[in-house]
């Protein structure tokens, strides 16, 4: 099976137990890579958190780089999903609300995934450049076209679609990527049910008010 990132040497698991180990390794690796990046994590650390010896981990993933790539790849689909879902046939206000909400939901249900990609960006996105220029760029092109069509039909205020898209991404990712800052200031974060609900409402309303001709709140 080919992958979006590159041809990948599959991990070496051949039994149930082996697959469970691979899953534990990937979980541990996600946690650590999202925090410290590829270079800031040691194989020993990952192995310890995954509850096995270093050689055992390296039995499943030949190199640290292969492990990193596997982690990135496993998150990629989930990460791209909410970026794709701008429904051009729905009315703008519903579509945008859904778009924002699903991105915010990703920040909540997969904060480490969100941070992993933020980490990649900070490092210059060496493993993602290609995906960004192909898959993501065309996704964005489609979303931009949808937004521009709405503007042309007078359903949205004139706005540069790219900046709107970036602003929505940024505002929603922020709750995962800058969680310590938010918790230091608010005393709680996106994991808190009430806080999530509040963020969902406020961010959606803010952007809708920002772009809709007839403010819908």
Partner DNA sequence: AGTAGATTTGATCAGATGGTCAATGCCGGC
Partner DNA sequence: GCCGGCATTGACCATCTGATCAAATCTACT
166 binds its own copies, rule: CB under 8 A: yes
* Residue 203 contacts residue 171 (beta carbons within 8 Å): yes
Q: Work out whether 91 is an interface residue with DNA (CB under 7 A).
A: no
| CA–CA separation, 57 and 8 (whole Å) | 17
User: Which one of 9-17, 23-31, 38-46, 85-93 is the stretch in contact with its own copies (CB under 8 A)?
Assistant: 38-46
Take residue 209 and report the two structure tokens written for it. 């008010």
Stretch that binds its own copies, among 14-22, 58-66, 72-80, 204-212 (CB under 8 A): 204-212
Shortest CB 202 distance to its own copies, Å: 4
* 21 near DNA (CB under 7 A): yes
Q: Is residue 126 part of the contact set for DNA (CB under 7 A)?
A: no
- With a CB cutoff of 8 Å and minimum separation 6, the contacts of 179 are 111, 189, 190
9, 53, 88, 123: which one contacts DNA (CB under 7 A)?
A: 53
Size of the site for its own copies (CB under 8 A): 58
Output the smallest distance, CB 20 to its own copies, in A: 28
Q: What residues between 22 and 41 interact with DNA by CB under 7 A?
A: 41
Q: Which of 153, 34, 31, 38 is nearest to 89 (CA)?
A: 153
HSE-up (13 A, CA, CB side) for residue 82: 25
Contact range with its own copies by CB under 8 A, out of 5-13, 59-67, 84-92, 124-132: 124-132
Question: Which C-beta is closer to its own copies: that of 18 or that of 210?
Answer: 210
CA dihedral 50, 51, 57, 59 (to 10 degrees): -130
C-alpha 86/C-alpha 211 separation (Å) is 15
């Amino acid at each position: 099976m080919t992958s979006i990132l590159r041809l990948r040497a599959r991990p070496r698991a051949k039994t149930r137990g082996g697959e469970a180990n691979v899953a534990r390794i990937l979980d541990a690796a996600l946690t650590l890579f999202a925090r410290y990046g590829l270079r800031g994590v040691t194989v020993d650390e990952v192995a310890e958190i995954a509850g096995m010896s270093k050689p055992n981990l390296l039995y499943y993933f030949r190199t640290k780089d292969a492990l990193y790539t596997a982690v990135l790849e496993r998150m990629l689909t989930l990460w791209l999903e909410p970026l794709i879902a701008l429904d051009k046939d729905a009315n703008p206000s519903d579509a945008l609300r859904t778009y924002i909400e699903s991105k915010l939901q990703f920040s909540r249900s997969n904060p480490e995934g969100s941070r992993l990609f933020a980490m990649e960006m900070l490092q210059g996105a060496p493993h993602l450049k290609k995906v960004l220029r192909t898959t993501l760029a065309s996704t964005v092109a489609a979303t931009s076209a949808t937004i521009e069509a709405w503007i042309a039909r007078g359903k949205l205020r004139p706005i540069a679609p790219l900046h709107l898209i970036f602003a929505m991404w940024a505002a929603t990712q922020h709750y995962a990527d800058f969680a310590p800052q938010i918790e230091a200031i608010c005393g709680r974060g996106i994991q808190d049910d009430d806080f999530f609900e509040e963020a969902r409402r406020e961010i959606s309303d803010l952007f809708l008010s920002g772009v809709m001709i007839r403010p819908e709140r």
